[in-house]
Homo-oligomer: A and B are copies of this chain.
Amino acid sequence: MDLNSDLGEGYGHWTLGDDDALLEVVTSANVACGFHAGDPATIDRTVRRAVERGVAIGAQVSYPDLVGFGRRDMDVPPADLTADVLYQLGALEAFAKAAGSRVRYVKPHGALYNRIAGDPVQAAAVVEAIRRYDPALPLLTLPGSAAMQAAGAAGIEAVGEGFADRAYTAEGRLQSRREPGAVLHDPDQVAARALRMATEGRVETVGGGEVAVEIRSLCIHGDTPGAVALAKAVRAALDRAGVRLEAFA
């Protein structure tokens, strides 16, 4: 099982999250590529540290929306979206290459991630960027999403990920953040869900039932002090249970 988290999400003078703490926990780092966060100097630092710790580097590509942190849905035409993803992929790759490594996977960020879970047009545009850049690069996304289907149709590997701190619907979708109880905060509960997802491929749903989630990675948030504690609890639970943690890519 892989543990992934968003890193390098500062911008210039502004910082966000505790990257050093997270790099001790995760096996894959989704590095911001400059469109929602991540100026070049921040990318440089983040990539160097990740490489030093043997953490795999993924391109956390986004809509071009610094002020909105990439969290606002945008109707970017497909050809522009493909170009946006290519641009970010290449930019990050330069730092990975300079640090003696390379970009191992792509994970869209924020509103783009959510959009391509359901929108086949934008999903295909993102996948097209990967196909043109390097068809061997996997896409990290939601199991059963439009993105996963678009990847499959293009012969790109798609890797499913789970969210131990998010409530799931009976269909295996994430409960909207607007609903109460959508985000879980209790470290024990989150760690237990992570362990079950990792070992059994199942998770309890909001309705009290359970649903299969075919995942090879667990996403861990780290942009708050509490989130780092949660991340450590998940890692500890998996370690204790003997789950082998390694980058999927």
Partner of A84, one of B10, B40, B74: B40
Q: Which of A6-40 contact B (CB under 8 A)?
A: 10-16, 34, 37, 39-40
Q: 1/0 per position for A85-98, CB-CB distance to B under 8 A? A: 01111111111011
Given contacts A80-B68, A93-B93, A133-B98, A86 and B13 within 8 Å (CB-CB): no
- A167, CB-defined interface residue at 8 Å: no
Cross-chain contact A68 with B14 (CB below 8 angstroms):
no
Closest to A75 in B: B73
Interface residues on A, range: 35 or more
Distance in Å: Cβ of A34 to nearest Cβ of chain B = 7
User: A83 and B44: CB pair below 8 A?
Assistant: yes
**A40 and B94 in contact, given A12-B66, A68-B12, A72-B74 (Cβ under 8 angstroms):** no
Write the chain B residue with the least CB distance to A38: B87
Q: Is the CB of B90 within 8 A of A94?
A: yes
- Interface pair A67/B67, CB less than 8 Å apart: no
User: Interface readout for A61-72 with B: 1 if CB under 8 Å, 0 if not?
Assistant: 000111111011
Which B-chain residue is minimally distant from A223 (CB atoms)?
A: B13
- A43 lies within 8 A of B87 (CB): yes
Copies of this chain held together in the complex: 4
Chain B nearest CB from A136 CB (Å) reads 13
A154 within 8 A of B: no
Q: Is A132 an interface residue (CB 8 A)?
A: yes
The 8 closest A-B pairs by CB, nearest first: A90-B94, A14-B14, A40-B83, A13-B69, A98-B132, A40-B87, A73-B75, A91-B91
Q: Most B CB atoms within 10 A — which of A64, A84, A88, A133?
A: A64
- CB-based nearest B residue for A100: B132
Query: Given A12-B67, A14-B10, A92-B90: A76 and B72 within 8 A (CB)?
Result: yes
CB of A111 closer than 8 Å to a CB of B: yes
Residue of B nearest to A35 (CB): B40
Task: Report if A236 contacts B (CB, 8 A).
Answer: no
- A16–B16 Cα distance when bound, in Å, is 10
B39 and A94 form a contact (CB under 8 A): no
**In the complex, residue of chain B having the shortest beta-carbon distance to the beta carbon of A72:** B75
- Interface flags, A209-226, vs B, CB<8A=1, else 0: 000000000000000000
Q: Which of B79, B94, B111 contacts A86 (CB 8 A)?
A: B94
Is A41 at the interface (CB under 8 A from chain B)? yes
